[in-house]
Structure 1
């Protein structure tokens, strides 16, 4: 799966929130500073070309919806991220966050509990 740019990810977040809609609907979901309407429209068209978004023509406008679920994108993104930056080692990923003090002992215990229950 192709990695999305920050601008594309922001657009996808808005699309996932709306489930389906028009460019104006997505623009309303994006935090300030909002991109210009035409920039968002171009970004959504690129997402359609990449297969992340499906479009349906309604009159003179297009209604868009996500072609991939948010959870599926997260899963694929994280698998690629761990593979590229941590040599496919989730242990190294957790170790990195622990060394950077980005994860607490309680959070680690919660993760261990989740693993043991799975």
Structure 2
């Protein structure tokens, strides 16, 4: 599984939200400013070639569906980020966000509760 470009990730997020659909369907799941239809169609074709999507033809319309789950993609590439940038330590990852003030005390408490199995 190869890392996607930002444009490809945006398209895959739309596909994962929609489930199965056409390029027009996926366009509706992308926030403004949306790419032109032809740009998204090209991106979708590339994702199919890379093995991220499958397609089937219904009449004159191609319907695409994810071949890779969002969770599998996140797991693969978050692990790579942690390994490459945080010495393979999730503690270092959290520490980075704490130092940059990108995570609040309340959010840290929520994370601790999740780890401890509390709701």
Q: Give 1:34 shift.
A: 1.3
Deviation at 1:67, TM superposition (A): 0.8
Residue matched to 2:5: 5
Q: Scaled by the length of structure 2, what TM-score is found?
A: 0.90
Aligned length, in residue pairs: 118
RMSD: 1.5
The within-5 A match list for 1:12-31 is 12-31=12-31
For residues 29 and 91 of structure 1, the distance between their equivalents in structure 2, rounded to whole angstroms, comes to 34
Match of 1:86 in 2: 86
**Counterpart in the other structure of 2:45:** 45
Once the two structures are superposed, what CA deviation does each residue of 1:59-107 show, in whole Å capped at 9, x if it has no partner? Answer: 2321101111112212222111111211211111011001001112222
User: What CA distance in whole angstroms lies between the structure 1 residues aligned with 2:113 and 2:17?
Assistant: 30
Structure 1: tracts of 5 or more residues without a match: none
Instruction: Measure how far apart 1:47 and its partner are.
Output: 0.6
Q: Secondary structure at the match of 1:2?
A: coil
The question of 1:56 aligning with 2:42 is answered: no
**In structure 2, how many angstroms separate the alpha carbons of the residues matched to 1:105 and 1:45?**
43
Output one character per residue of 1:22-44: Cα deviation in whole Å (capped at 9) or x when no partner: 11111122111111111101100
> Structure 1 length as normaliser, TM-score?
0.91
Unaligned runs of 5+ in 2: none
Structure 1 residue runs of 4+, over 3 Å off? none
